[in-house]
Chain A
Amino acid sequence: MEESDSVESLCSSTTTRSDRSSGTRVSDTELRSKGRVIEKVLQCKYPSKGELPLLPEEHVQDSAKDVTYICPFIGPVRGSLSVTNYRLFFRCTDREPVFGLDLPLGVLSRVEKIGAATSRGDVSYGLACKDMRNLRFVHKEPEDSLKKSVFEVLMKFAFPVSNNMSLFAFEYKQVFPENGWKVYDPLAEYKRQGLPNESWRISKVNDHYELCDSYPAALVVPVTITDEELRRVSSFRAKGRIPVLSWIHPESQAAVVRASQPMVGQNGRRCKEDEKLLQAIMDANAQSHKMFIFDARPSVNAAANKMKGGGYESEDAYQNAELVFLDIHNIHVMRESLRKLKEVVYPNIEDSHWLSNLESTHWLEHIKLILAGALRIADKVESGKTSVVVHCSDGWDRTPQLTSLALIMLDSHYRTIRGFQILLEKEWLSFGHRFQQRVGHGDKNHTDADRSPIFLQFIDCVWQMTRQFPAAFEFNEYFLITILDHLYSCLFGTFLCNSEQQRLKEEVPKHTVSLWSFVNSQLEEFVNPLYVGYPSHVLFPTVGIRHLQLWVTYYIRWNPRMRPQEPVHQRYKELLAKRAELQKRVEELQREAANRTASSSSERAGSPTRSITPVQTFV
């Protein structure tokens, strides 16, 4: 009982459905969850005035009354502010409807004092968030200068890493019915793809992360290449990230292979083993005598990398391989684009120049290039039956964007809820996308040039595909938003650290809860009722800007003029319930009729010709 209660409150506290800065829009689901929260509060461990729905091991660190939140939509709101080791609560109860803010401290990227105190001692604080909003509070400084302001406490707990404390994920000890750390088993996933087979083997060369510390332990490589040769290849590829298999086509045996850039340098260095490896990848696919190397970067950038020892494959060295540049820009460009987007969407949208403002952020253009790149990869594999190698510079940002999107297009398994989790665990987490660096968990250094919304972009691309193919994905939009919310929240261990090796070293699976434990314990929340599982169907989205749209339910969700709803999905669930009800009654009547027929054999039973079998409902 206790347990399920917490699941609900957790669900309502961190995601879009109830946590909105305006606090004035109350949807019916929200009302229900609020009702539950209030019920729970009554039997809470903190029955005093601070009535807050706290998670296990969550403790109030400081509170202050008479704090004013300057809401950009409805103006200043006065209330009380509490800071726990996980989140920030702001409540204003003396207005109708009750206004509240409830956000995990993990979403904060910056907390700063704005200007000097006024004559009355008011100080204002600006909170910049990673989820597209900025909050602003005004608070009277405590007269006793020795006493810490609630905002100083906030800063301490918002950036635990900078203050030598551990992230809340390591304290949170919720137990869920399912253990999400067991979702991904690399060997099982490779087995699903039919690996190992006569051309590909699973190498243990990286078992102790000696070959490459940012790669997973299990690597799939051509059988003709020895571990010794792999070691030599690793010295030729940036950060030791050698070409290994991500996915293999079940029929044509065309493979999607990922890597980092070759260390060609200005002198055009070559590596015999690397050339042999790529040849072996090509040979593993009997259907084609050619292969494509997709370099995610603009060619200018790729060339510039030669100055730093990197570069790209020359066509002399790699016979039969065609090199294609995909023109996707680097992490700095993407960060800048998102910054501009935030300016355009928060807090308010300028009515008259919305479209040109949106265009000037280039956000959709970047989304388009990424999707177009993934589409070309998927098309080569599916229609051209050729194997492809994908890399960027280090192979941990643009490369997983491209490979995982191409895999979603090619393999319907990755469009299921569990399949998508496996895809993230595999392509992003095990292959070392640097989540800690890119997100900056618990780190106050908000200007860190390593931060970049690479993963957000990927999720955005997935969302674009779900719009174009509303029946092809098992998960709904809420699933994607939940993933993004917990990317920042630091409640779960899933997105902590930079690599598989680091996560093992920190014993993340042992000490934290997986996001998938939470998700898989209430799957029905995340199911797209329109999903039709057609197994061998390849998706080719249209990547034109005409068909891309800004994900307003994510980027603009804080605006009170915006209504979050999935009316079609809601309606579909209602229809399912109705069908179930009708089915039940038809079956009852059928049974009655059958009984009657049995009793009087002279009567003819008019049984319907078309029968309907029960289908599970999600209501």
Chain B
Amino acid sequence: MAFCLLYKPVLQFCEIVVNEANFVRKCIGAESCQDDLWGKLVCTNFKVSFIAHNSLPRQCTHRLLGEHDIPLACVEQVVTVNDVKGKQKILGSNQKLKFNPTELILYCKDFRIIRFRFDEAGPESAKKVCLAIAHYSHPADPQLLFGFEYVGKRYHGSTGERVNGVDPGGGLQTPLFDCSSDWDREIKRTGASEWRVCTINQGYFISPSLPEFFVVPVSLADQDLKQYACCFYSQRIPLWCWNHSSGSALVRMSNISDPQQQRKVEQRISSAITKSHPLRSDVFKSDLDKNLPNIQDIQAALLKLRQICVIDSFEESEEKWLSSLESSRWMEYVRTFLRHAVEVVYMLESRHVSVILLEKEDRDLSCVISCLVQLMCDPHCRSLHSFQGLIQKEWVMAGHRFLDRCNHLKRNDKEESPVFLLFLDCVWQLWNQYPAAFEFTEVYLTVLGDSMWVPVFSTFLFNCPRQRAEHSRDFASSKSIHLGQDQALCFPPVWDWSQQFSLKDQTLFNNPLYVGKIATCVQNGTVKTFTHRRSKKNYSSTLRGLPSALRNGSLGPNDTLTRRNSLMLRLRSDLSQVREQQETPSERFVRDFFSRPVDLQGLLLPQLLPSHLSVWKLYFLRWVPEAQIPQGGPITAFHKLSVLTDEIEMLQNQLRQYQGAAGTPNNLHAEHSKMYFKATSTPHQSPAPPEYLSSSFPFSPVGNLCRPGILGTPLSKLLNGAKIWLSTETLANETI
């Protein structure tokens, strides 16, 4: 046992150990401690680390975090327990603890629940490490977030060498939309010729929450914009998001704070947008606040969902799972957002009008809807880099308050809300319905969600670009960092995935099914195109008899078909009238869409029947041991698909080699393959999925979910790897 003292935490370049305790036991799940791990519990300024003296192998290793590490930003609640005295306390920052803890439970924002026991540890050091964790997970100031140290250190080397691999935008193909050229490209790409990049907010002199560059109608001069700016909430001039191929624009706008000016300004803006439309079409305003749940609703839903997913005991929640899931309202909200996005798509796609997304602050719900609309309409956004660009454009640059919504400072719970996670869930639903249409995988979406809690990325650390600039300037001057050519500290964006994962692990993000531009790959063979089987003609909308006037304001929620009594409809001589009564034009639009074969490179609408949305199991249930399917789950199909795609890649390389001059040597393939699972050298037989695969892959429930409910179930057996199923009998015993 003594030699565990020799184990040292793996620290990042600028990471410092704050406190530590030895002889700590990490609970693996069972009440019996035989599977628990012994080791050292360490609190640094970045993470809570546990250094076990015999750890299990890990499939997917994180570059910033070890197997048992939890970033401080991921800790939601620190609970200390003394089970002898029967005491329990939730620790905040700078608090006192009147008893010696025997146990520490960390509730994490990513749904993990981790338990440490201090039976053998010194009582004082146990107490100290708990207090340190509580204190350091409640930073008083954003500049105490680890990202600042992490990035600040790169400017210290006297030779100007760059450490921590920060390379702003350099090797990245993801547009960050922090310069006017990215916006110019987007304008060109979408054919939005009547729109221009506006630079009046350079230096953030007009609006504190807008980016320095954004896009406005050409008919609005800078002078006008400056004048209108003061009417809007936080001086947020309406922002252009995207242009539909028909020329209709998607615009987001905050509320007009001055009621006297409202009409006039609204009219000016609308007419400018109309002028920018090739058909001079009308503008439709979609009021998001009226039609969508607010951020507190969303937060409440996630808390309830977390309760039933990981906190309630598995058996008890099993019985009422469906109705509890319903009463959490999470799925309902996911559906509401998707449905609203479909309504907006209908306006753009079928009515050919421009749409303004109206939200009080224009910094939460608009981000979700505008991204979803673009994902549904624009196949370009479904590639990995464009998807990242989309998040840059509609979330980071548009000023989604990541700092507040993540509640990194744990100051104001009212501002905390998982809007971004809800968005990821909506994307997952689309992905789940059209898996071949997206370049990325659900592992990618899950990891992206988790990255919110690794506080080193520019993406999730700030409320808006201006805040980033100010904080990094202040930090630089307070630490007398010489910024050189840079105007601000350059935080890596989360899109610099090499910060977190090896190239091999990053291949888990690549979807073997993705159709993308693959259709052109075989040039003169018989297989010419795979994607399009439908002629464009079928696209032409057959909408007839639309109501002449649009209702002003919000989209009505009454899109549900009448239920059973629809059988009782009286017959009319004119059947078409009856149908129109039953079905709104947007419903007809959706039904028309579903009556045609889908084009993965075209418009995608989600199926919105409540029966067709599922729980995002990989994200929400990955830590639940009872919910794990050993050697099963979608990953087994993914495995087979990856191998096939890898074979295809290999053949293409061979072809290139034969055909071309100076082809790459064949053995390079293995390194450059985009697939995580590779073709074997003996492809006579389809390889069976590896034994370690489970529905939780690449995550593992082992040691990550120690709630009271599962104590006593022989999880120990899960640890024995291949023999996992031994426990099924016992589990089954309890489910009945």
A residues within 8 Å of B by Cβ?
24-28, 68, 70, 72-78, 96-97, 122, 134, 136, 138, 326-327, 345, 347-356, 358-359, 364, 368-369, 372-373, 375-376, 379-380, 382-384, 468-472, 530-534, 537-547, 549-550, 552, 556, 559-563, 565, 567-568, 571-572, 574-579, 581-586, 589-590, 593, 606, 608-610, 612-613, 615
Least distance between A309 CB and chain B CB atoms (Å)? 28
User: Contacts A546-B627, A613-B683: A574 and B534 contacting too (C-beta < 8 A)?
Assistant: no
Q: Which one of A76, A326, A584, A613 lies within 8 Å of B575 (CB-CB)?
A: A76
Chain B, 447-476, contact with A by CB distance < 8 Å: what is the 0/1 string? 000000000000000000000000000000
CB–CB A549/B614 < 8 A: yes
How far does the alpha carbon of A384 sit from the alpha carbon of B436 in the complex, in Å? 42
**B478-534 at interface with A (beta carbon < 8 Å):** 512-513, 515, 521-522, 525-527, 530, 533-534
Closest to B533 in A: A28
Task: Give 26 A-B contacts (CB < 8 Å), ordered by A residue.
Answer: A326-B736, A348-B561, A349-B611, A350-B563, A356-B322, A364-B322, A372-B732, A379-B728, A383-B725, A533-B686, A544-B735, A545-B318, A545-B322, A562-B607, A568-B435, A574-B530, A578-B648, A579-B651, A582-B522, A582-B652, A584-B525, A593-B658, A610-B669, A610-B681, A612-B647, A612-B650
Contacting residues, chain A, for B566 (C-beta < 8 A): 72, 347-348
Inside 8 A of A359's CB, which chain B residues have their CB?
320-323
Chain B neighbourhood of A547, CB < 8 A? 617, 627, 629, 695
Query: Is there an interface contact between A589 and B735, defined as CB atoms closer than 8 Å?
Result: no
Q: Once bound together, how far apart are the Cα atoms of A27 and B331, in whole Å?
A: 29
B598 contacts across to A, CB distance below 8 A? 563, 565, 567
Is B515 a contact of A571 with CB atoms below 8 Å? yes
If A470-B637, A559-B609, A567-B434 touch, does A355 touch B652 (CB 8 Å cutoff)? Answer: no
A75 close to B629 (CB less than 8 A): no
CB neighbours of B223 from chain A (8 A): none
Check B597 for interface membership: any CB of A closer than 8 A.
yes
B399 at the interface (CB under 8 A from A): no
**Chain B: interface size category:** 35 or more
Evaluate whether A542 and B595 lie within 8 angstroms (CB atoms) in the complex, with A375-B728, A556-B611 already known.
no
| Contact of A544 with B314 at beta-carbon distance under 8 Å, contacts A384-B729, A534-B688 already known | yes
Contact partner of B651 (CB less than 8 A), chosen from A561, A563, A612, is: A612
B621 at the interface (CB under 8 A from A): yes
CB of B632 within 8 A of CB of A541, answer: yes
Once the chains bind, are A532 and B686 in contact (CB under 8 Å)? yes
Are A550 and B611 in contact, CB atoms less than 8 angstroms apart? yes
Beyond the given pairs A354-B611, A533-B686, 12 more chain A to chain B contacts, judged by CB atoms under 8 angstroms and listed by A's residue number, are A355-B610, A358-B611, A382-B725, A539-B632, A542-B695, A546-B624, A567-B435, A579-B648, A581-B525, A581-B526, A606-B657, A615-B686
In the complex the two chains form, is A379's CB within 8 Å of B725's CB?
yes
| Segment at the interface with A among B120-128, B199-207, B226-234, B638-646 | B638-646
Identity of the chain A residue whose Cβ is nearest the Cβ of B645 in the assembled complex: A575
Query: Which residues of chain B come closer than 8 Å to A78, judged between CB atoms?
Result: 575
**A161: min CB distance to chain B, Å:** 29
- State in angstroms the CA–CA spacing of A585 and B523 once bound together: 11
B49 in contact (CB, < 8 A): no
For the complex of A and B, list the 4 residue pairs with the smallest distance between their C-beta atoms, beginning with the closest: A354-B610, A355-B326, A582-B651, A534-B688
Beta-carbon contact of A540 and B728 below 8 Å: yes
The answer on a CB contact under 8 Å between B323 and A26 is no
- Name the CB-closest residue of A to B652: A582
Contact residue among B609, B628, B726 (Cβ-Cβ distance under 8 Å from A383): B726
Nearest residue (CB) in A for B528 is A581
B193 within 8 A of A: no
How near does chain A come to B718, taking the closest CB pair, in angstroms? 13
- Contact flags B666-691 to A (C-beta < 8 A → 1, else 0): 11010000000001010110111100
Interface residues of B in 402-444 (CB under 8 A from A): 434-436
Chain A residues within an 8 Å CB radius of B728: 375, 379, 383, 540
Q: Which residues of the partner chain B approach A549 to less than 8 Å between Cβ atoms?
A: 614
Cβ contact of A75, chosen from B321, B578, B650, cutoff 8 A: B578
Contact with B655, one of A27, A585, A606 (Cβ below 8 angstroms): A585
**Measured between alpha carbons, how far is A379 from B725 in the docked complex, in Å?**
8
Are A542 and B530 in contact, CB atoms less than 8 angstroms apart? no
What residue of chain A has the Cβ atom nearest to residue B308's Cβ?
A: A546
Contact indicator B644/A572 (Cβ below 8 Å): yes
CB distance from A323 to the nearest CB of B (A): 14
Instruction: Decide: B527 and A568 in contact? CB cutoff 8 A.
Output: no
CB distance from B225 to the nearest CB of A (A): 42
Closest CB in chain A relative to B682 CB, distance in Å: 9
- Inside 8 A of B666's CB, which chain A residues have their CB? 608-610
Min distance, Cβ A552 to any Cβ of chain B, angstroms: 5
> Which residues does chain B contribute within 8 Å of A96, judged by CB atoms?
542
The residues in B between 585 and 629 inclusive whose CB is less than 8 angstroms from any CB of A are 590-591, 594-598, 607-612, 614-615, 617, 621, 624, 626-629
Most chain B CB within 10 A, of A348, A372, A375, A542, is at A542
Distance of A354 Cα from B515 Cα, bound (Å): 33
Please measure, in the bound complex, the distance between the C-alpha atom of A558 and the C-alpha atom of B689, giving whole angstroms. Answer: 35
Is A327's CB under 8 angstroms from B736's CB?
yes
In the docked arrangement, what's the CA distance between A349 and B645, Å?
39
- List of A residues within 8 angstroms of B725 by Cβ: 379, 382-383, 538, 540
Q: Which residues of B contact A352 (CB under 8 A)?
A: 332
Instruction: Give, as a whole number of angstroms, the nearest-CB distance from A348 to chain B.
Output: 5
Smallest CB–CB gap between B523 and chain A, Å? 10
Which of the listed residues B562, B658, B666, B679 has the most CB atoms from chain A within 10 Å of its own CB?
B658
> Which residues of A lie under 8 Å from residue B435 when comparing CB positions?
567-568, 571
Asked if residues B595 and A26 are in contact (CB atoms below 8 Å), the reply is yes
> How distant is the Cα of A99 from the Cα of B311 in the complex, in angstroms?
51
Task: Tell me the bound Cα distance from A613 to B680 in angstroms.
Answer: 11
Which of chain B's residues has its CB closest to A610's CB?
B681
Chain B 295-329 per-residue mask, 1 if CB under 8 angstroms from chain A, else 0? 00000000000000000001000111111011100
Write the nearest CB–CB distance from A528 to chain B, whole angstroms.
10
Taking the closest CB of chain B, its distance from the CB of A524, in whole angstroms, is 17
Across the interface, which residues of A come within 8 angstroms of B326, CB to CB?
353-356
Query: Which residue on chain A has the smallest CB distance to residue B437?
Result: A567
B736 CB contacts on chain A under 8 angstroms: 326-327, 369, 372-373, 376
Please measure, in the bound complex, the distance between the C-alpha atom of A538 and the C-alpha atom of B641, giving whole angstroms.
22
B77 interfacial contact with A, CB 8 Å? no
Distance in Å: Cβ of A204 to nearest Cβ of chain B:
37
Q: Of all chain A residues, which has the CB nearest B522?
A: A581
Indicate whether A68 sits within 8 Å of B571 (C-beta atoms), given known contacts A326-B736, A372-B736: yes
> CB-CB < 8 A to B628: which residues of A?
542
The reply to whether A530 and B640 form a contact with Cβ atoms under 8 Å apart is yes
CB-nearest residue of chain A to B670: A610
- Judge whether B700 is part of the interface by a CB distance below 8 angstroms: no
Bound-complex Cα distance A565 to B560 (A): 24
B537 sits at the interface (CB 8 A): no
**A590 contact set on B, CB distance < 8 A:** 658
| Contact among A348, A530, A610 with B563 in the assembled complex (CB-CB below 8 Å) | A348
Please determine whether B322 and A355 come into contact, CB atoms closer than 8 angstroms: yes
Closest A residue by C-beta to B688 = A534
With A383-B726, A610-B650 as known contacts, state yes or no: A97 contacts B569, CB within 8 Å.
no
Cα–Cα, bound, A383→B714 (Å)? 15
Residues of B within 8 A of A368 (CB): 735
Q: Are B527 and A25 in contact (CB under 8 A)?
A: no
Q: Which one of A24, A372, A572, A586 lies within 8 Å of B641 (CB-CB)?
A: A572
Given contacts A70-B569, A585-B525, contact A25 B434 (CB under 8 A): no
CA distance A384 to B730 in the complex (A): 12
Across the interface, which residues of A come within 8 angstroms of B561, CB to CB? 73, 348
Q: Once the chains are docked, how many angstroms separate the CA of A73 from the CA of B669?
A: 53
Give the docked Cα–Cα distance between A26 and B538 (Å): 12
B98 sits at the interface (CB 8 A): no
Q: Which residue of B lies closest to A379 (CB)?
A: B729
Complex contact A579–B647 (CB within 8 A): yes
Q: B489 CB to closest chain A CB, in angstroms?
A: 44
Inside 8 A of A540's CB, which chain B residues have their CB? 630, 725, 728
